[in-house]
Structure 1
Amino acid sequence: MNKYIKPAVILFLLISCLAVYLSSNQSNPVSSSNPLYEQIKSKQQDYFKKPQNAYIDQVWKKTPGLNGRKVNIEKSYNKMKKEGTFNEEKLVFEQIPPEVSLEDLPVSPIYRGHPDKEMVSLLINVSWGAEFIPDMVETLSKHRVKANFFIDGAFASEHKDLVQMIEEEGHLIGSHGYGHKDFAKLSKSQALTNLDKANNIISSLVESEIKWFAPPAGSFTMGAVEAAENFDMYTILWTVDSIDWKKPTKDVFLHRITSKLHNGATILMHPTAVTASSLGELIPIIQEQYKIGTLEDLMSEKRGG
């Protein structure tokens, strides 16, 4: 062994010691005695929200859960340390999932999203009105809003290009059954046959999975809901009805919707003249208070803040 340590070896040892020092400091980025760090830590309980389990409501049936949230102290501190002062807008949150999710609940229809979620969803049932769909889709795209289109299988057979165009624009495609049947008058076996026929047609036109079923006129039995469940589909109803098929004036159409908006609302409409001409005014009004998302967004446990 050499009597003297070579300079290269000394440099290697110094670099190794520095790496160990930096590593230990990264694992413990800030002393708990730091005033800003302690302030964030002391305030974390003020911003804590408990997760809420999915549940069956007596009126609104299946209701999705909602994530809780907690402050990530280290990440929040790192965003504030440059200024050195507490800033609520720079808090970083982690979401806490609930123990019971929508898929854990027994078979039941769904009417709305979570009542604490500041989001609504547009449900567009399509069995007719092909001439109004391009304008509606254009308006939705202009406002960067995604809606849910429930397509009748018979309509899909006749208007394949429209169905594909709707999906290409990023909207959710669901089933409206086949032939606009009254599902309250169908046996479970008949409902299975009807839904299977509709799904085969729609699935041949789109790439997305058909996960949602909207029964025509909101008419159904539990047998129909169970039939949809057999195809891994949720049955969706609504909480706000535009009644646009009765050809209301634009003012009446807008009032029917805006006067009944609420957290988690599902808003029913159809491809009609009044809907196509009013959608551009309706969307900004809704967005003053709520986000607009697809059912996948509305029914997810993810919270906005």
Structure 2
Amino acid sequence: MKFIVFKRPALRNAMLWAILLFVVLAYRENVIAVFSSKLKPIYSAEVTTSEIGLTFDISWGEKTPEPILDILQEKGVKATFFLSSPWAAKHEDLVKRMVADGHEIASHGNRHIDLNTLSPGEIEREIMSAHEVLQQITGQKISLLRPPNGAYDNKLISVSQRLGYQVIQWSVDSLDWKRPGPEAVIHNVLNGLPNGHGAGPGDIILFHASDSAPDTIKALPVVIDQLRAKNYQLVPVSQLLKSATKTWPPESNLPPLEQTGSS
């Protein structure tokens, strides 16, 4: 008679668990991305106020930013400027004027590339290299990120959250970068695409202050006046979020994480 002896695989199981733990720790952002299918940036906010977030992206050029700053100063409006760090480093005078005028500075990253195509480590380096430049120039705490081209995935959002950043998109797009003409830019903001979803309380408006969007200079005063005529208030994104009871989509309501980068 043959006896079958079952050997306890304790050592093998321990090794497998150790390997799994190593993978989770080494590639935690990728693991989060696999098991969390609903990480989203903030597109808009639910508010009980009349506030609308006004934002501008800048990655290149020097002709458009100053006229836009003049308009905002004349109208007494504060906004959020999402700046790429190479542009900011070359135009410190304009960035410092933004700060002096009371505007909020946020990050548009370092290189103007789709961050969701990078590894977690590369994403962190891109965010933190921009963070260091922008914070050194402005003296502000930089905690909002609009990824270049609006490109994101779970990996990007989880890395951003770990670094103390909230990822901000938009709910109203001026499409000014397409150079459709000032009237079209005004229409896109006030009436929306499709028609019927023009800017209202809780929305975040996307403009560009790069030289690729010259129509913004003529469109912006009209947009400000028309929105004010509806008793709406244009504010920086951080102020809008302070007034928010929640953000949209629901998956963007993530608890803020402690910032681990430079402060």
Same fold, judged at TM 0.5 (above)? yes
- 208, 215, 228: which one pairs with 1:270? 208
Q: Which residue of 2 aligns with 1:137?
A: 69
Distance 1:302 1:224 in 2: 24
Partner of 2:184: 252
Distance in 2, matches of 1:302 and 1:217, equals 25
Residues 95-121 of structure 1: CA distance to partner in whole angstroms, max 9, x if unpaired? xxxxxxxxxxx9642111215442111
Q: Distance in 2 between matches of 1:168 and 1:115?
A: 28
- Output one character per residue of 1:126-182: Cα deviation in whole Å (capped at 9) or x when no partner: 101321111101100111100110010111121111111111110000000001110
Q: CA deviation at 1:296?
A: 1.7
Larger radius of gyration: 1
Cα distance in 2 for partners of 1:250, 1:221 equals: 33
Secondary structure of the structure 1 residue equivalent to 2:63 = helix
Give the Cα separation in 1 of the matches to 2:85 and 2:244: 32
CA contact (8 A) 2:47 2:244 kept: no
Deviation of the 1:297 alpha carbon: 1.5
Using the alignment, how far apart are the partners of 1:228 and 1:248 within structure 2? 33
Secondary structure of the residue that 1:121 maps to in structure 2? strand
Q: Which runs of 4+ in 1 moved over 6 A?
A: none
Contact 1:122 1:266 in 2 (8 A): yes
| Greater mean deviation of Cα atoms: 252-261 or 107-116 | 107-116
Instruction: Identify the residue that residue 223 of structure 2 maps to in structure 1.
Output: 282
Contact 2:67–2:217 (8 Å) recurs in 1: yes
Q: What's the counterpart of residue 160 of structure 2?
A: 228
Quick one: which amino acid aligns to residue 225 of structure 1?
A: I
Greater RCO (Cα-Cα under 8 Å, separation 6 or more): 2
Unmatched runs of 5 consecutive residues or more in structure 1: 1-105
- Paired residues, number: 198
Superposition pairs of residues 126-275 of structure 1, within 5 angstroms: 126-259=58-191, 260-271=198-209, 272-275=213-216
Residue 112 (structure 1) aligns with? 44
The one-letter code sitting in structure 1 at the alignment partner of 2:206 is L
**Corresponding position of 1:293:** 235
Q: Distance in 2 between matches of 1:280 and 1:262?
A: 17
Equivalent position SS for 1:228: helix
Letter in 1 for 2:204: T
The answer on whether the counterparts of 1:188 and 1:226 sit within 8 Å (CA) in structure 2 is no
Is the 1:191–1:224 Cα contact (8 Å) retained in structure 2?
A: yes
Preserved contact between residue 107 and residue 229 of structure 1 (Cα < 8 Å) = no
User: What's the TM-score, normalizing by structure 2?
Assistant: 0.72
Separation of aligned partners in 1, 2:45 and 2:138? 26
Mean alpha-carbon deviation: is it higher for 166-175 or for 181-190?
A: 181-190
Q: Give, in whole Å, the separation in 1 of the partners of 2:57 and 2:158.
A: 21
- State the secondary structure of the residue aligned to 2:242: coil
Shift in CA distance, 252/302, structure 1 to aligned 2, threshold 3 Å: closer
Task: Judge conservation of contact 2:47–2:243 (CA < 8 Å) in 1.
Answer: no
Deviation at 1:269? 0.8
Write the distance in 1 (CA, Å) between the matches of 2:79 and 2:164.
Answer: 21
Most deviating of 226-235 and 203-212: 226-235
* Structure 1 residue 184, shift from structure 2 partner: 2.0
Q: 1-side partners of 2:221 and 2:51: how far apart?
A: 18
CA distance in 1 between counterparts of 2:39 and 2:219 reads: 36
For residue 131 of structure 1, give the secondary structure of its aligned residue in structure 2: coil
- SS at 1:202's partner residue? helix
In the alignment, structure 2 segments of 5+ residues that lack a partner are: 1-37, 192-197, 246-263
Cα deviation 1:40-94 (Å, max 9, x = unaligned): xxxxxxxxxxxxxxxxxxxxxxxxxxxxxxxxxxxxxxxxxxxxxxxxxxxxxxx
Q: For 1:129 and 1:266, locate their aligned partners in 2 and report how far apart those are by CA, in whole Å.
A: 23
Identity %: 26
TM-score normalized by structure 1?
0.62
Equivalent residue letter for 2:200: H
Structure 2 Cα separation of the partners of residues 159 and 126 of structure 1: 11
